[in-house]
Every structure is written in C-alpha cells, then in structure tokens.
C-alpha cells in the first residue's frame, strides 16, 4: 500500500500528514509524504520518482492536476478542480472530496442544505466544489467573486446576497472582504475554507452567527479522501480528536 502524499505550494504546514497518521495509526509512519513545489509539472515528476500511488492536491494546483488524470470521477469535470488523484493499475483518476467536505460540514453540525439559500464567496477550485456540492444537496446557490462573469456576482453585491441566504461558504482571504461582509446575523451559518486564517470568524462571532471553522471542511473531505486513497476506513474518532471537533 502507498506511498501517498499531499502536494501544493505552500504545503509544509498542512495538517494532512498528522490527520492521516491519526486515521491509520497502524500504517508506516512515512507512508504519507509532503511535496512542496513551485510548479505542477515538477510536482508530477516528483510523484513519478517516488512511485506515489495516490495524493491529495491543495492550492494552487487543483486545476493543474486535472491534466495528469486519465479519468475523472463524477462532477470533477464540471467543477474543473481536483483535490485527490489515485493510481489503480496504471490509470490515474481525479476525485473531488471538497464536495462532501462542504455538504457534510453543514449536515452534521447545523442542517441539511436542501431548500436553503447559500452564498459561496470565491469561484476558485474550492468555491466551485462548494457550489456544486450545495446545488446537489438541494440548495439555491449564489456565487460572488473578485472577478465577476455571467452567473457570478461581484464582491460589492455580498451584503444584498447575505440578506437572501442562510448558509455562507467563504473560500477567499479576508483582504477585500472587510467592507463587504455586512448584514450577518444569528440566522446565518458560516463555513470558512481556511483553517489557518479563519477569515470570517471575527465577523461571525460579532454578528452572533453560527461559525464553522475550516477544520470541519478538512475533516469531512479527509474521511472520504483517505478511504479512497487506502481502501480502508479511517479512524474518525482519532481524526476528530486531533482537530478538536
């Protein structure tokens, strides 16, 4: 089995190696590696050199590594982003467990997204996965982004969108959001993608909104992702303990 890895830039501070070790304490300590690279092509070469059998993908390579896949799991093509690739009998398959990460974060802690209005801030790989997952779960989804385009709202429209929505997913840094995240209240539940920066935590607490930090998203996408990687059920209790969930 393995070896496995996570690849990104930067990625050395990622919790994924510790989370994997917690999930599978009986597996070899060095079975899950960290590959930090400035370029996806160089990273792909490193994957081949180390004979990696499956790997998680984080920023900024969630779109780049689609080009390396032979097959795409359902919805990955529409999202145009992957956070996991696996090799089975020489065939590389791209997956996206961010979809599950977002939806299950809301389902476990708050409510099913079905019938709710949801705002997704950011239209990168994580934002597209969040929007897709929430739509599949039955939510009406609005997306706001720094660069608007047909079907995507500009960031200054966020206050009016907040008034329409119960659920909010944020996938971008705080910069540019300070003056636009207005109108939050106790009716809102906010999920941040970043577990290191927690961009909307302060605003959520100030408004009395329900706040879900990025550990929720990290945990739920990892439960599915690690099972896909290894074919084994992870120790969810140990993973939750590590993340204090």
Give ∠ CA 43-103-64 in degrees, rounded to 5.
20
Which among 239, 230, 200, 194 has a CA at the least distance from the CA of 59?
194
Residue 238 CB contacts under 8 Å (≥ 6 apart), including other chains: 22, 23, 25
- Residues in the chain, overall count: 245
Give ∠ CA 193-38-178 in degrees, rounded to 5.
35
Scanning the structure block, which residue is given the tokens 């709202």?
Answer: 153
CA distance 148 to 51: 41
| CB-CB contact of 14 with 21 (8 Å) | no
HSE (CB half, 13 Å, CA atoms) of 13? 6
Scanning the structure block, which residue is given the tokens 């997913």?
Answer: 169
Give ∠ CA 7-39-17 in degrees, rounded to 5.
10
- In the set 62, 67, 71, 116, the catalytic residue is 62
Q: Which helix (H) or strand (E) holds 45?
A: helix 40-49
Q: Is 62 a catalytic residue?
A: yes
Give ∠ CA 231-36-87 in degrees, rounded to 5.
30
Within 10 angstroms of residue 212's Cβ, the number of other Cβ atoms is 24
Residues noted as catalytic: 62
């Amino acid at each position: 089995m393995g070896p496995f890895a996570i690849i990104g830039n930067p990625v050395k501070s990622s919790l994924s190696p510790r989370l994997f070790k917690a999930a599978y304490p009986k597996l070899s300590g060095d079975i899950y590696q960290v590959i930090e690279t400035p370029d996806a092509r160089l990273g792909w070469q490193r994957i081949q050199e180390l004979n990696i059998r499956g790997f998680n993908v984080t920023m900024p390579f969630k779109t780049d590594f689609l080009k390396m896949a032979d097959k795409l799991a359902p919805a990955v093509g529409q999202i145009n982003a992957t956070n996991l690739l696996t090799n089975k009998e020489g065939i590389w398959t791209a997956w996206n467990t961010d979809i599950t990460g977002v939806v299950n974060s809301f389902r476990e802690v708050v409510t099913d997204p079905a019938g709710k209005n949801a705002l997704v801030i950011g239209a990168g790989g994580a934002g597209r996965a969040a929007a897709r997952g929430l739509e599949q779960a039955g939510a009406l989804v609005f997306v706001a982004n720094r660069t608007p385009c047909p079907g995507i709202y500009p960031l200054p429209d966020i206050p009016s969108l907040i008034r329409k929505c119960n659920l909010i997913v944020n996938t971008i840094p705080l910069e540019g959001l300070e003056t636009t995240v207005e109108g939050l209240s106790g009716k809102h539940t906010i999920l941040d993608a970043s577990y290191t920066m927690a961009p909307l935590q302060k605003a959520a607490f100030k408004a009395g909104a329900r706040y879900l930090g990025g550990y929720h998203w990290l945990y739920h996408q990892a439960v599915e992702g690690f099972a896909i990687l290894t074919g084994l059920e992870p120790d969810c209790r140990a993973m939750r303990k590590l993340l204090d969930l």
